Structure 1
Amino acid sequence: MALEQTLILIKPDAVQRRLAGTLLSRFENKGLKIVGLKMLQVTKELAAEHYAEHVEKPFYPLLEEFITAGPVVALVAEGPEAISVVRSMMGSTNGRESAPGTIRGDYGVSRQMNLVHGSDGPEAAAREIPIYFKPEELVSYESSLGDWVCADDEK
């Protein structure tokens, strides 16, 4: 099982709705280890770097307007298959179509205001994490609970 890191953004809609702590708790309660955490305002330049593959698409102006509308909480979570675990926890992009029990299923009713971003694969995580975090901002540590979260052959 691959130990992975993934970028998670708690988007402006979730911050404005005061869900940041609730959503962070869900990731921690799942057993993921938080190795980076900060609040920041996404600029137009940062948005263009993060969403580079979408800049020329017709929907990009609305995406940029949304992601720069308020602060985000950026975090890096680590754990076995963290990328797919986080993607499953988030649910479908459209909150109206997301299953109950997922973040978007429990808290969302919109496609665009969908509360969270998570890297969609190892390549995306490798590209996205350095956009938001300098290497020295990520903290490697042993969790005292680690042995109670996963068996040794799953780490």
Structure 2
Amino acid sequence: MQKEQTFISIKNEAIQKGLIGEIIHRLERVGLKLVAIKMVVPDKDAIAKQYPDKEWWYKQVGEKTKDSRQKRGVEDNRDIIEIGKWVRGMLLEDLVGKPQVAMVWEGAHAVEITLNLSGKSSFKNPM
């Protein structure tokens, strides 16, 4: 079986709640191996690369956000591109200059396993 590698970032909020050890433990418990780890404080350029300033990204995130908000009873009449830009702005504001733990994990089906553990908030096929 082929090993995969996947990137996981523990964001500042989880760090402040003392969840680093629990997250690492969960990933190890499902058979993944930690192959790289470091604490970083990303600048705007680093975060902007993770959340691209591209129409396809705005559309994808805007659709997902609008659907999620509608399911919770929140009406949002904005265009999906506008919603996507709003989400990106919030992400930049929330993540820039705040510590994160950046990790690379390895194992069979590492991408699928981490998506399942994280609640699939990431995108499998961004384009």
Q: What is the TM-score with the length of structure 1 in the denominator?
A: 0.56
- Which residue of 2 is the match for residue 43 of structure 1? 43
User: Which of 96, 106, 114 lines up with 1:68 in the alignment?
Assistant: 96
Q: Secondary structure at the match of 2:24?
A: helix
Task: Give the corresponding residue for 2:33.
Answer: 33
Once the two structures are TM-superposed, the CA of residue 70 in structure 1 deviates from its matched residue by 2.1
Q: Counterparts of 2:91 and 2:106 in 1: how far apart (Å)?
A: 27
Cα distance, 1:92 vs structure 2 = 4.8
Partner of 2:7: 7
Alpha-carbon distance between aligned partners in 2 of 1:90 and 1:59, rounded to the nearest angstrom? 19
Cα deviation digits, residues 103-143 of structure 1 (max 9, x gap): xxxxxxxxxxxxxxx6x44x87xxxxxxxxxxxxxxxxxxx
User: Normalized against structure 2, the TM-score is what?
Assistant: 0.68
Q: Which has the larger radius of gyration?
A: 2
Cα shift at 1:69: 5.2
Percent of aligned positions that are identical: 34
Give, as a single letter, the amino acid of the residue that structure 2 aligns with 1:45. D
Structure 2: how far apart are the matches of 1:49 and 1:90?
21
Structure number with the bigger relative contact order (C-alpha 8 A, sep ≥ 6) is 2
RMSD value, Cα = 2.2
- Structure 1's consecutive aligned runs of 4 or more residues displaced over 6 angstroms after TM superposition are none
**Higher mean Cα deviation, 46-55 or 58-67?**
46-55
Structure 1 segment 96-107 matched on structure 2, within 5 A: none
Q: Distance in 1 between matches of 2:86 and 2:119?
A: 24
Residue identity opposite 1:60 in structure 2: R
| CA deviation profile, 1:6-61 (whole Å, cap 9, x unmatched) | 00001111011111111111111111011110011111110011111458722211
Number of aligned positions between the proteins? 98
